[in-house]
Amino acid sequence: MEGTSSPVCFSVTIGNQPLILQSDMTIVVETAHPDFVAMRNGLLPFAELVKSPEYLHTYRITPVSVWNAAAIGLDAEQVLSFLAANARYGVPKNFESEVRTWFQRSEVFQLHAEDGDTLRLEAKEPQVLRDLYHDPDLASLLFQIEEQQGRAWLRKAKRGLVKERLMKLGYPVQDLAGYVEGSALAIQLRSQLESGQSFGLRPYQEEAVESFHHQGRADGGSGVVVLPCGAGKTVVGLAAMAAVGAHTLILTPNTVALRQWRRELLEKTHLQPEQIGEYSGEVKEIRPVTLTTYQILTYRKEKGGDFLHFDLFSKGDWGLIIYDEVHLLPAPVFRATAEIQARRRLGLTATLVREDGKEDEVFCMIGPKRYDAPWKDLERRGFIAAVSCLEVRVPMEEDLRLQYLAAKKRTQFRLASENPSKTDALLALLQKHEGERILIIGQYLDQLRALQTELQVPLITGRMPNPDRDRLYQAFRDGEETVLLVSKVGNFAIDLPDANVAIQISGTYGSRQEEAQRLGRILRPKSDGRGATFYTLVSEGTVDQDFAEKRQRFLAEQGYAYQIVPAHQLMPSN
């Protein structure tokens, strides 16, 4: 690491521009460069971070990142002008060619509505349609083609499948076919005075809603809004509902999130309780606004059997479907999403990162990224809490180290994750933050149960009944409990505004989305204006440390830096 920061590496340069563009479509930027922050913010709309060590960050431009940029109004000239103005060694020729090609491909195909059960696919370049028509999967979805005019026709039921196939062939589709309006439902947000709290749409929330809705035009109405946890994604959803004004189906990751949506709907809109239905394992209500979970939608009695509740998508005359935490959208739901393209669709998430690599399917089935606010910008403006991130490196005892070295890769990760020496570091952190609201989040139940016995604090897992979870969360909010142990159920959908310390003792390999969600537990602005602290305990010199670097990549893209702290520095001196 010290070698990469040596001045010798950069002794021969052309100017001092901050970006180094490479022919493999990657971009390297020095974190110590005075323009680093401006470069990070400039790259965010059209590139994704792939490596984030201390001194050099590496971004990559991909087809999906370019197509998302095109969806928010950027074009090839803007992107290439930014790169050319800041490239230390110029823009490689193939780099420019690829960027122009990917932007050009985003403009080739459009879908338009026709009478009856038909949609028209228009190709700006007829030769492209003629070539792609040789793909048997695409050809099977179209029932008529005029090759010379660059037009083809499809049934409305094939709308999503055609978009998915063209996306796989490298051509996103601009969908201008419009939407069914759904049953009308007047939804009005409460004023600040009525809600009895400091509530009102923030400027970026208004921008997010407008970017999604586009005043009801055909070029709006589907897509994803990306905002950090604590920045009010639910409020964006409520405002989108008010803009659309129709019956709405809301998909949530779990029952806790479902109930929080219900509370928000009642507190912040004029909807009445009888207008809001819950479709869960306990209740099967279909109302003008219906809340359900991904788990219910993907339920089937046996592996390979039918999904018993997919008909929920057609049971209501929905004008809008909201996908909360869309990065968690289970793969089977993509199938249903492909069949309901005539409905307006809003995805909400803190990060579009999917560890299964299905970002392209989110793009074509839900819609492109419509809005993305830089986390650090929201922090600077006071909309989310300032957070210090620290990685605490914990050594292994010699016996465990030898066992680790002899183990297989998967076993190595678990041994490193459950390193008993992490307990001493955890105790030191609890002493340091005594009296603050602390969440301890982990991956392994055995590890968490051992800590529960050691610390004598409540433990919340997925097996705990929802009423018991709600009771403990409320006790934490009320200050009756100041420390909670939580399993993976704590990754999302917990509204604990006063939590200001999160300690991650183990995680899911290199999951960037999990890292973002866990930090998000402490991002809500504190009533006293304090900042927050996010700790990750890793076993030094192990795969635990390697995976931690991968986990931190998304947050590094948002501007967070992890301070490395040896565990012995936390221990009280004798």
The predicted structure's pLDDT at residue 556: 79
Going by pLDDT thresholds of 50, 70 and 90, the confidence category of residue 434 is very high
The predicted structure's pLDDT at residue 34: 92
- What integer is the mean pLDDT of 214-239? 88
Hey, what's the torsion of the CAs at 206, 207, 212, 215, to 10 degrees?
A: 70
**Backbone torsions φ then ψ of 204, nearest 5 degrees:** -70, -30
The predicted structure's pLDDT at residue 197: 53
Please provide the DSSP assignment of 149-166 as one string. TTEEEEEGGGHHHHHHHH
Percent of the chain with pLDDT over 90: 52
Taking alpha carbons only, the member of 572, 425, 571 closest to residue 506 is: 425
Which residues are CB-contacts of 437 (< 8 A; sequence separation ≥ 6)? 476, 479, 482, 496, 498, 499, 500, 501
The predicted structure's pLDDT at residue 104: 96
| Three-class DSSP category at 535 | strand
Model-level pTM?
0.83
Percent of the chain with pLDDT over 70: 93
Euclidean distance between CA atoms 503 and 431, whole angstroms: 13
Do 111-175 and 192-373 come out as alike in CATH topology? Answer: no
The predicted structure's pLDDT at residue 53: 67
Contact 214, 222 (CB under 8 A): no
The predicted structure's pLDDT at residue 6: 28
pLDDT at 379 over 70: yes
Euclidean distance between CA atoms 302 and 300, whole angstroms: 6
Going by pLDDT thresholds of 50, 70 and 90, the confidence category of residue 248 is very high
Contact 385, 230 (CB under 8 A): yes
Which residues are CB-contacts of 365 (< 8 A; sequence separation ≥ 6)? 160, 163, 164, 334, 337, 338, 341, 345
Question: Which strands make up the sheet holding 483-486, listed edge to edge?
Answer: 459-460, 483-486, 438-441, 501-504, 532-539, 387-394, 562-566
pLDDT at 229 over 80: yes
Token pair for 557 = 């893209």
| Three-class DSSP category at 216 | helix
The predicted structure's pLDDT at residue 14: 43
**What kind of fold does domain 192-373 have according to CATH?**
Rossmann fold (3.40.50)
CATH number among 1.10.287, 3.30.70, 3.40.50, 1.10.3430, domain 111-175: 3.30.70
Token pair for 15 = 């100017």
Cα within 13 Å of Cα(179), Cβ side: 23
CATH superfamily of 380-570: P-loop containing nucleotide triphosphate hydrolases (3.40.50.300)
Taking alpha carbons only, the member of 364, 410, 452 closest to residue 547 is: 410
Question: Higher confidence at residue 509 or residue 1?
Answer: 509
- Number of helical H runs and strand E runs in the chain: 24, 23
Hey, what's the torsion of the CAs at 465, 467, 471, 474, to 10 degrees?
A: 110
Q: Domain residues of the chain, as ranges?
A: 3-105, 111-175, 192-373, 380-570
- What integer is the mean pLDDT of 364-392? 87
- What integer is the mean pLDDT of 544-564? 83
SS3 of the chain: helix, strand, coil, percent, to 5? 40, 20, 40
Euclidean distance between CA atoms 91 and 195, whole angstroms: 53
Going by pLDDT thresholds of 50, 70 and 90, the confidence category of residue 81 is very high
* Average pLDDT value over all residues in the chain: 87
pLDDT in tens, 446-484: 999 999 999 999 999 888 888 888 899 889 988 899 999
The predicted structure's pLDDT at residue 4: 27
pLDDT at 199 over 70: no
Token pair for 230 = 């604590």
DSSP state of 269: B
Other Cβ atoms less than 10 A from the Cβ of 71: the count is 20
Which amino acid is located at 46 in the chain? F
Contact 457, 485 (CB under 8 A): yes
Which residues share a beta bridge with 26?
Answer: 60
Taking alpha carbons only, the member of 462, 457, 461, 463 closest to residue 476 is: 457
pLDDT in tens, 253-287: 888 889 889 999 999 999 999 999 999 888 899 99
The predicted structure's pLDDT at residue 425: 95
Token pair for 304 = 């390979």
Please state the separation of Cα 85 from the chain's center in Å. 31
H or E segment at 337? helix 331-339
The predicted structure's pLDDT at residue 355: 62
pLDDT at 302 over 80: no
